[in-house]
């Protein structure tokens, strides 16, 4: 309920927000095996070599408003189970869920000072970026100039140098996720997927499906999309039958009849869109679905690949050949085949690419463990050494001397 009342999303989507975050917690509970290194005995005569992963120290996370529970749970459970302490800065627009998560973590036995919540806006973000005691920063948000500071201030002045106490960084940013619809796609299943992925959560998610490219005729698809969009109910997120709640602020507000004093935007479909239009170039982050048309799969993939963003892309088809071609040639970090929002479970990583990601390693999964740790390789020798053997100036090798 806290998520719905602060952020506005529907109760059913708020439930999903929490559940997807808890999947990361569940995965992090296996950290003992996820951090296991490698061991090779007797790499040379009487010499063993092994690697271990060690915590960085103090890490920090800067969170957006759109997933008040899931995004914090992408970050601190992995960081603290790797042995780090963590500073979490929730969005100033809906910080309640982060406070509740911290209280639950302490109730579960997390020691005082391991997880720390700080509130604020740009000055707090700047302090996190500039503090040399913070070894790693995770960020999720838009590509605006303020948010870009988070990455540029780190990348220009910080590296992953342990000696200089510099920062590692990971940054999930804006997106323009595409779906390509081929003429052989299942009509009902595809329409349902487009509506849910395009308008769910009022379009305020980085994996929202904001652009659809129809191969061949688009008119019949658009008519059916319009019909289904009209059937969605826009109302307060606390209403059990709500399909869309309000957006987060009045800046992108468009009033819906009957809700003159709310931040409500109805499902919006824009047809005849071309790649030179402003609505296509920029991330809208609202319940807006752009419709484009291409004459072939190759042309459709060129449209997708030329876009600067690369979070996700999907194809809807009954052709295995077309799906294989799409999977191989599309330039996006997360690919769906008849799946509209291809976000992987936590044992994989969230693999956005191009302008949608900046940094060293992706969020959660194996990459997340690597991000919050540093690797150390140990070579040890316990064989008996003959006294008086003298100094050897030769280059050490695995060959017996």
Give me the active site residues, please.
206
At residue 282, what are phi and psi to the nearest 5 degrees? -110, 155
Under a CB-based contact definition with an 8 Å cutoff, are residues 269 and 222 in contact?
Answer: yes
In the sheet that holds 58-62, the strands lie side by side as 115-117, 85-89, 58-62, 134-140, 168-172, 357-359
Distance, C-alpha 289 to centroid of its chain: 21
The closest of 72, 101, 77, 73 to 2, measured between CA atoms, is 101
- Counted residue by residue, the chain has a size of 401
Neighbours of 388 (CB within 10 A): 5
Using alpha carbons only, how large is the chain's radius of gyration in Å?
25
CA 313, CA 340: separation in Å to the nearest integer?
Answer: 8
- Dmax (CA) of the chain: 94
- Are β-strands 312-316 and 177-181 bridged in parallel, bridged antiparallel, or unpaired? parallel
CA 359, CA 150: separation in Å to the nearest integer?
Answer: 11
Structure tokens at 93: 């627009």
Under a CB-based contact definition with an 8 Å cutoff, are residues 178 and 301 in contact?
Answer: no
Q: b/e for 139-154, b at 16 or more Cβ within 10 A?
A: bbbbbeeebeebbebb
Contacts of 38 (CB under 8 A, 6+ apart): 50, 51
CA 136, CA 159: separation in Å to the nearest integer?
Answer: 10
The closest of 183, 179, 141, 193 to 290, measured between CA atoms, is 179
């Amino acid at each position: 309920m806290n998520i719905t009342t602060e952020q506005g999303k529907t109760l059913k989507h708020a439930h999903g927000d929490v559940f997807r975050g808890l999947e990361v917690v569940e995965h992090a509970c296996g950290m003992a095996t996820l951090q296991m290194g490698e061991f090779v005995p007797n790499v040379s005569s009487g010499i063993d070599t092994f690697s271990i992963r060690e915590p960085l120290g103090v890490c920090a996370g800067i969170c957006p408003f759109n997933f008040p529970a899931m995004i914090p749970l992408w970050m601190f459970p992995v960081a603290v189970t790797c042995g780090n302490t963590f500073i979490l800065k929730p969005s100033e627009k809906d910080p309640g869920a982060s406070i509740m998560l911290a209280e639950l973590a302490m109730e579960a036995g997390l020691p005082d000072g391991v997880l720390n919540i700080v509130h604020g806006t740009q000055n707090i973000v700047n302090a996190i970026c500039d503090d040399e005691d913070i070894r790693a920063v995770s960020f999720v948000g838009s590509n605006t100039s303020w948010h870009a500071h988070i990455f540029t201030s780190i990348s220009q002045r910080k590296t992953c140098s342990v000696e200089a106490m510099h920062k590692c960084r990971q940054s999930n940013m804006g997106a323009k996720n595409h779906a390509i619809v081929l003429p052989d796609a299942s009509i009902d299943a595809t329409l349902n997927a487009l509506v849910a992925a395009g308008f769910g959560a009022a379009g305020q998610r980085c994996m929202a499906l904001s652009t659809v490219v129809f191969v061949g005729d688009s008119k019949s698809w658009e008519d059916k999309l319009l019909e289904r969009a009209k059937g969605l109910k826009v109302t307060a997120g606390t209403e059990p039958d709500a399909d869309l709640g309000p957006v987060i602020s009045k800046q992108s507000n468009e009033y819906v009849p009957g809700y003159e004093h709310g931040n409500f935007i109805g499902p919006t479909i824009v047809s005849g869109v071309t790649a030179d239009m402003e609505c296509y170039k920029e991330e809208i982050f609202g319940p807006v679905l752009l419709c484009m048309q291409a004459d072939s799969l190759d042309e459709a993939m060129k449209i997708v690949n030329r876009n600067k963003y690369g979070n996700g892309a999907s194809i809807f088809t009954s052709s295995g050949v077309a799906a294989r071609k799409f999977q191989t040639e599309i330039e996006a970090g997360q690919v769906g085949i008849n799946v509209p929002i291809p976000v992987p479970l936590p044992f994989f990583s969230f693999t956005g690419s191009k302008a949608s990601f900046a940094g060293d390693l992706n969020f959660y999964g194996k990459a997340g463990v690597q991000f919050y740790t540093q690797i150390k390789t140990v070579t040890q020798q316990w064989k008996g050494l003959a006294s008086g053997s003298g100094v050897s100036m030769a280059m050490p090798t695995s060959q017996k001397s």
